[in-house]
Chain A
Amino acid sequence: DIVMTQSPDSLAVSLGERATINCKSSQSVLYSSNNKNYLAWYQQKPGQPPKLLIYWASTRESGVPDRFSGSGSGTDFTLTISSLQAEDVAVYYCQQYFDTPTFGQGTRLEIK
């Protein structure tokens, strides 16, 4: 199975500041025939199921605010929140869908 590793495990950022979460896969999730990275990001707030934020590494799901952006290719990916809002407090997971689905361990984002 492809192992997904996120960093950091937790992060505290001031309101209005930038938050950056990294995700690394143990093998490339870039499919050469369509040049797409099979990498998604989810947000999970306390007591709620995960919510899809970004897929294809950088495509925002409908309705997701544009302060959320994804980047990267191959094995290294980043989720960036450009200006942290109070409602962004959550745990964030990356997931590869190139093969049998696997998730990163999660990054807990808090307000400093």
Chain B
Amino acid sequence: QVQLVESGGGVVQPGGSLRLSCAASGFTLSSYGMHWVRQAPGKGLEWVALIQDDGRNKYYADSVKGRLTISRDNSKNTLYMEMNSLRAEDTAVYYCAKGSSTIHYRLFDYWGQGTLVTVSS
């Protein structure tokens, strides 16, 4: 069965950095686009970033462009998010989510349990 397990969240000061990981199992990671979606405490869902199956094409929400970097290591079945210049408004649960197919990769069919990032001094 498909499993996505995030890790790497924690408390970081404004301006700091963090690296999130998402370990994938139960499917061939290299065949699917993968996303990060976040949810601020008590708020709704916000798409953050997409990396396509081959890792060459990456897309970001305007709110994180230039500060967050999505990457993947298909040999390790792992998705990453490098987070720099963090701000208070980046505080959220970060979910990794799997695109449903090669073509319809913007539809999320599986989600991890999420990892909480808190940006606070």
Does B bind A? yes
Interface residues of A (CB under 8 A from B): 38, 40, 42, 44, 48-52, 55, 61, 93, 95, 97-106
22 interchain pairs (CB within 8 A)? A38-B104, A40-B108, A42-B45, A42-B108, A44-B45, A49-B95, A49-B112, A50-B95, A51-B111, A52-B108, A55-B100, A93-B45, A95-B107, A95-B108, A98-B106, A100-B61, A100-B106, A103-B44, A103-B46, A103-B47, A105-B44, A106-B44
Interface residues of B (CB under 8 A from A): 35, 37, 44-47, 50, 59, 61, 95, 100, 104, 106-114
Q: In this complex, what residue of B is CB-closest to A50?
A: B111
Q: In this complex, what residue of A is CB-closest to B104?
A: A97
What is the CA–CA distance of A103 and B44 in the complex, to the nearest angstrom? Answer: 8
Minimal beta-carbon separation of A79 from chain B (angstroms): 15
What is the CA–CA distance of A95 and B106 in the complex, to the nearest angstrom? Answer: 10
CB < 8 Å neighbour of A49 from B44, B107, B114: B114
Query: Are A101 and B111 interface neighbours, CB within 8 A?
Result: no
What is the CA–CA distance of A53 and B44 in the complex, to the nearest angstrom? Answer: 17
Q: In this complex, what residue of B is CB-closest to A52?
A: B109
A55 in contact with B45 given A49-B95, A49-B113, A100-B59 (CB within 8 Å): no
What is the CA–CA distance of A52 and B50 in the complex, to the nearest angstrom? Answer: 18
Contacts of B45 in A (CB 8 A): 42, 44, 50, 93, 95, 103, 106
